[in-house]
Amino acid sequence: MSEDQKIKLAHGSGGRLMHELVEETIVERLANPILTELGDSAELADLVEGAAGRIAFTTDSYVVQPLFFPGGDIGKLAVAGTVNDLAVAGARPAYLSLALVIEEGFAIDDLRRVLDSVASTALEAGVSVVTGDTKVVERGAIGGLVVNTSGVGVVPEGVRVGSGLAAEGDAVIVSGTIGDHETAILIAREDLAISETIESDCAPVGGLVEAVLDACPDVHVMRDPTRGGLGTTLNEIASASNTGITIDETRIPIRREVKAICDILGFDPIYMANEGKVVVVAPAGRAGDVVAAMRAHPLGESAAVIGEVGGRRGVYLRTEVGGSRPVVMLEGVQLPRIC
Amino acid sequence: MSDAPYDLHGFRSPEAAAALVERIRALATEPIALMEVCGTHTVAISRFGLRSMLPGTVRLLSGPGCPVCVTPLVEIDRAIAAARIPGVTIATFGDMMRVPGSRSSLEAERARGADVSIVYSPAEALALAAEDSERKVVFLGVGFETTSPAIAATIVEADRRDVRNFLVLPFFKRVPPALEELARVPGRRLDGFICPGHVSVVIGAAAYEPIAHRHGIPCAVAGFEPLDILAAVAALAKQARGRSEGRPARVENLYRRAVTTRGNRRAQEVIDEVYVIGDAEWRGIGTIPGSGYAIRERYAAHDARAALDIDVPAPREPAGCICGEIMLGLKLPGDCPLFGTRCTPRDPVGPCMVSSEGSCAAFHRYERVEAVRGAMDREDR
């Protein structure tokens, strides 16, 4: 690959090379009126005018390795992850910032691929990237590329969800199969010779959430079970709501291949990250409507009620063989078993 | 997708499990203590919630079956010493990273700049060594008879390909001598051993005959599905009744889909080719004669103990840690004064809490809440 096609330290220096990179490689792909101005700050007039509701604001940094994996890449993840944090807060996601920290020597073709993903995922999610930043660091510092996205949206009047709002008797619902993303990443990162291709479920879930809120405006909790998986998210809900949650292992949707791989490696899928799923806690009487709304959406085909809120504090699992055990907060990282 | 040869889902049938539990209930009318000596069993029992299904008369103890947990402090310190040598890459299974040594851990060393790689198999470590002849790749040879043959085969391969920078630190342990040691512990009665499934694939079910015949302890070789374990508990409960009626203890192989009577000959051959049996120290327990493998003279070029200068001073165990007594089945994790307070999975003191397969870590993760709640219930009544 010619020298012109690799990122150099000069690309982050603020000079001509950086301006060319930003205009030709970044803005070209993400073009919208606000971004094209390239002001020091983006002005978001329409966010405030006539918007009845509350502004929601979130940020996340993405350091995933490998950068490209089955089902997505760091660009798709960076948009979907931040959009999803807004969506599950009940907000309609509107604008994103995009900060890139690129390692010297990174192939510009790869950068283009990532930005193409950012653009297409943003389009799918109905958001615009309106401001950003580019820095270049020395070779070897960061695994190629680190991305940060911050996102802003508006939570309409009347929508109120929160981890602390789960109530006794509520149904616990998940929008689809668990463990796909982290399993896919693990296989890709460790180059495990597995015959099945597991794809990350990485996707923006704004549309799915909208469908749920249309069907049931009074859901109590919505969360996206990312790092730490379903188990961690349920613990956070139980703790914030000061309740117990009991779930049934046989009702949790999981791909047969994901389950098998986790079994072999000694991982518990309940703690594996998901990047395109939503956990909803809703009044028991509305559970049917929520599941139906999810299943009618392409991202919610396997949606299911998996348990209920109530009982002793903490999260409990009725195992598929008929036993019972607590699901505690994950400590540290899961490691593959030795023998 | 083609049908798998075994539909493992059948091994998790709640109806079959309930039937086995009924049988156990009928058999275990007196209290019995059964010990497993395999980290995978420890995790499976907890993860499937099997204790919640068993009658109160059946007590399941977790013995020294976690390979990381039984690696003595001095060996952790040697691995850390190796990590500090310039030009050395440590290749290890993941669990070893966080085990506290006397003053540091591999994780802390990596944060300080040491080259420590987590690998999934010894073959990966060999590949690392082949890629870069400038670095000495030291693979931490942790594990029982399950991992020893693969590591031995890798040493043979390294020898054949003349990959001189591939070294192994031999931390291997052998299960049958440990069972003999456990059988001799005074003050604690054992009514049966749930024998480790994968170790048995290598050594064969007959390896446990001396335990049954010399020590009179019933043995059941079990797989890792819930029904495998429940079937073993039922078989041992039945043998325990037989013992009280004067019948001799015996070995039952309940994992016939993977374990034969004599074991895997090829694995045994490669073990014999590369290793010689020696004494080994088990953390918290002490030296058990004949319970380890050292690397033979013929393959000394790949023995990290011979090749590197990693002598370390004799370490002292952290005060208050009773991992040893827990692994011997004399105490439960909840009995340890440090459990859940000073010693947690996030900030562990002893090895039983570090490894996900350790008795204390498994207890903390899966059983503790029950135990606390159970204690509270009893207090309320």
Cα distances (angstroms) measured from residue B219 to each of B26, B176, B244, B249 = 20, 12, 16, 8
User: Same structural domain for residues B295 and B331?
Assistant: no
The answer to whether residue B374 scores a pLDDT higher than 50 is no
pTM (two decimals): 0.89
The owner of tokens 């990162």 is A189
Average pLDDT over residues B107-113: 93
The answer to whether residue B380 scores a pLDDT higher than 70 is no
Overall domain count for chain B? 2
User: Are B49 and A324 within 8 A, CB to CB?
Assistant: yes
* Rg value, chain B, Cα: 21
How far apart are alpha carbons B173 and B72 in whole angstroms? 11
The answer to whether residue A1 scores a pLDDT higher than 50 is no
User: Are B93 and A338 within 8 A, CB to CB?
Assistant: yes
The answer to whether residue B278 scores a pLDDT higher than 80 is yes
Hey, which residues does A97 pair with through a beta bridge?
A131, A150
Nearest CA among A334, A264, A337 for reference residue B66: A337
User: Are A326 and B47 within 8 A, CB to CB?
Assistant: no
Q: Is the dihedral of CA A233, A239, A241, A244 positive or negative?
A: positive
Residue A265 binned pLDDT confidence (cut-offs 50, 70, 90): confident
Q: Which residues of A touch B8 (CB under 8 A)?
A: 263
The answer to whether residue B5 scores a pLDDT higher than 60 is no
Cα angle value B8/B13/B17 (rounded, 5°): 125
Cα distances (angstroms) measured from residue B77 to each of A7, A23, A207, B105, B328 = 42, 54, 54, 8, 23
User: Same structural domain for residues B309 and B329?
Assistant: no
User: Same structural domain for residues B104 and B220?
Assistant: yes
Domain boundary among the residues B265, B284, B314 is at: B314
Region at B245 (left for phi over 0; alpha for psi -120 to 50; beta for the rest):
alpha
Strand A128-137 and strand A171-174: pairing?
unpaired
pLDDT at A66: 94
How far apart are alpha carbons A70 and A183 in whole angstroms? 10
The owner of tokens 């204390």 is B360
At A256, which helix (H) or strand (E)?
helix A256-265
Most confident of A183-197, A250-264, B222-236: B222-236
User: Same structural domain for residues B165 and B72?
Assistant: yes
User: Same structural domain for residues B135 and B283?
Assistant: yes
> Would an 8 Å CB–CB cutoff place A193 in contact with chain B?
no
The CATH number for B214's domain is 3.40.50.11740
> Would an 8 Å CB–CB cutoff place A31 in contact with chain B?
no
User: Same structural domain for residues B259 and B363?
Assistant: no
Q: Would residue B2 count as lying in a domain?
A: no
Average pLDDT over residues A210-237: 95
Find how far residue A282's CA is from the centre of its chain.
Answer: 21
Residue B2 binned pLDDT confidence (cut-offs 50, 70, 90): very low
Domain boundary among the residues B314, B336, B365 is at: B314
Q: Which residues of B touch A140 (CB under 8 A)?
A: none
The answer to whether residue B372 scores a pLDDT higher than 80 is no
Strand B192-195 and strand B219-221: pairing?
parallel
Average pLDDT over residues B88-95: 91
User: Same structural domain for residues B280 and B376?
Assistant: no
Question: CA of B49 to nearest chain A CA: how many angstroms apart?
Answer: 5
> Would an 8 Å CB–CB cutoff place B373 in contact with chain A?
yes
Of A190, A319, A334, the CB nearest to B120: A190
The answer to whether residue B352 scores a pLDDT higher than 50 is yes
> Would an 8 Å CB–CB cutoff place A337 in contact with chain B?
yes
Which residue is closest to B374 within chain A, CA to CA? A312
Domain boundary among the residues B288, B314, B340 is at: B314
The answer to whether residue B120 scores a pLDDT higher than 90 is no
> Would an 8 Å CB–CB cutoff place A311 in contact with chain B?
no
Strand A145-156 and strand A68-69: pairing?
unpaired
> Would an 8 Å CB–CB cutoff place A268 in contact with chain B?
yes
Which parts of chain B fold into alpha helices (H)? Answer: 14-27, 39-47, 73-83, 106-111, 122-131, 148-161, 175-183, 197-203, 209-215, 226-244, 265-274, 304-307, 323-327, 351-354, 359-362, 368-380
State the best of A195, A259, A325, A327 to mutate against chain B, taking most chain B CBs within 10 Å: A325
Average pLDDT over residues A102-108: 95
Burial (Cβ within 10 Å: 0-12, 13-18, ≥19) of residue A173? buried
* Rg value, chain A, Cα: 21
Nearest CA among B334, B333, B332, B355 for reference residue B345: B355
User: Are B49 and A192 within 8 A, CB to CB?
Assistant: no
Q: Would residue B297 count as lying in a domain?
A: yes
Q: Would residue B245 count as lying in a domain?
A: yes
Q: In this predicted model, which residue has the larger pLDDT, B196 or B2?
A: B196
User: Same structural domain for residues B50 and B176?
Assistant: yes
Q: Which residues of A touch B48 (CB under 8 A)?
A: 319-321, 323, 325
φ, ψ dihedrals at A252, nearest 5°: -80, 120
Percent of chain B with pLDDT over 70: 94
Of A263, A320, A336, the CB nearest to B94: A336
Average pLDDT over residues B35-54: 94
Q: Would residue B4 count as lying in a domain?
A: no
The answer to whether residue A180 scores a pLDDT higher than 80 is yes
Cα distances (angstroms) measured from residue A11 to each of A33, A111, A141, A334, B174 = 24, 13, 16, 38, 58
pLDDT at B379: 37
Q: Would residue B5 count as lying in a domain?
A: no
User: Are B14 and A322 within 8 A, CB to CB?
Assistant: yes
Percent of chain B with pLDDT over 90: 73
User: Same structural domain for residues B361 and B334?
Assistant: yes
The owner of tokens 């402090």 is B73
User: Are A334 and B120 within 8 A, CB to CB?
Assistant: no
State the best of B13, B25, B45, B47 to mutate against chain A, taking most chain A CBs within 10 Å: B47
The answer to whether residue A197 scores a pLDDT higher than 60 is yes
Burial (Cβ within 10 Å: 0-12, 13-18, ≥19) of residue B381? exposed
B258-276 as b/e: b if 16+ CB within 10 A: ebeeebbeebbebbeebbe
pLDDT at B258: 96
Q: Which residues of A touch B364 (CB under 8 A)?
A: 328
User: Are B94 and A322 within 8 A, CB to CB?
Assistant: no
Q: Indicate the range of B86-95, B214-223, B290-299 predicted with least confidence.
A: B86-95
* Assigned token pair, A68: 């490209």
Q: Which residues of B touch A322 (CB under 8 A)?
A: 14, 17-18, 53
- First vs last C-alpha separation in chain B: 55
Nearest CA among B240, B229, B236 for reference residue B50: B229
pLDDT at A269: 95
Percent of chain A with pLDDT over 90: 73
Rounded to two decimals, the ipTM of the complex is: 0.84
State the best of A257, A334, A339 to mutate against chain B, taking most chain B CBs within 10 Å: A339
* Assigned token pair, A45: 């007039």
> Would an 8 Å CB–CB cutoff place B94 in contact with chain A?
yes
Residue A157 binned pLDDT confidence (cut-offs 50, 70, 90): confident
> Would an 8 Å CB–CB cutoff place A324 in contact with chain B?
yes
The number of residues making up chain B comes to: 381
User: Same structural domain for residues B92 and B169?
Assistant: yes
User: Are A317 and B49 within 8 A, CB to CB?
Assistant: yes
Cβ neighbours of residue A14 under 8 Å, at least 6 residues apart?
A: none
pLDDT at B376: 39
Q: In this predicted model, which residue has the larger pLDDT, B126 or A194?
A: B126
User: Same structural domain for residues B363 and B247?
Assistant: no
- First vs last C-alpha separation in chain A: 43
pLDDT at B378: 43
> Would an 8 Å CB–CB cutoff place A334 in contact with chain B?
yes
Nearest CA among B164, B157, B108 for reference residue B135: B164
Residues 195 through 224 of chain A touching chain B, CB cutoff 8 Å = none
Q: What is the DSSP secondary structure assignment for residue B88, as one 8-state letter?
A: E
Which residue is closest to A186 within chain B, CA to CA? B120
The answer to whether residue A92 scores a pLDDT higher than 60 is yes
The owner of tokens 């509107």 is A94
Residue A50 binned pLDDT confidence (cut-offs 50, 70, 90): low
Please, what are the domains in chain A?
Answer: 3-156 (3.30.1330.10), 163-326 (3.90.650.10)
> Would an 8 Å CB–CB cutoff place B344 in contact with chain A?
yes
The owner of tokens 């976690």 is B66
Nearest CA among A198, A197, A170 for reference residue A280: A170
Q: Would residue B3 count as lying in a domain?
A: no
- What SS3 class is residue B53? coil
Q: Indicate the range of A14-23, A24-33, A270-279, B366-375 predicted with least confidence.
A: B366-375
Average pLDDT over residues B268-282: 97
Residues 301 through 330 of chain B touching chain A, CB cutoff 8 Å = none
Of B39, B52, B346, the CB nearest to A332: B346
Q: What is the DSSP secondary structure assignment for residue B165, as one 8-state letter?
A: T
Nearest CA among B362, B338, B366 for reference residue B352: B362
User: Same structural domain for residues B261 and B341?
Assistant: no
Q: What is the DSSP secondary structure assignment for residue B271, as one 8-state letter?
A: H
> Would an 8 Å CB–CB cutoff place B375 in contact with chain A?
no
Average pLDDT over residues A249-259: 95
The answer to whether residue A45 scores a pLDDT higher than 80 is no
**Domain ranges, residue B193:** 10-314
Residues 7 through 46 of chain B touching chain A, CB cutoff 8 Å = 8, 12-14, 17-18, 39-40, 43, 46
User: Are A266 and B93 within 8 A, CB to CB?
Assistant: no
Mean pLDDT, chain B, rounded, equals 91
How far apart are alpha carbons B368 and B362 in whole angstroms? 9
Q: Are B36 and B224 in contact (CB under 8 A)?
A: no
Nearest CA among B176, B182, B193 for reference residue B263: B176
Cα angle value A100/A101/A103 (rounded, 5°): 130
Question: CA of B70 to nearest chain A CA: how many angstroms apart?
Answer: 13
User: Are A332 and B345 within 8 A, CB to CB?
Assistant: yes
Average pLDDT over residues B160-180: 97
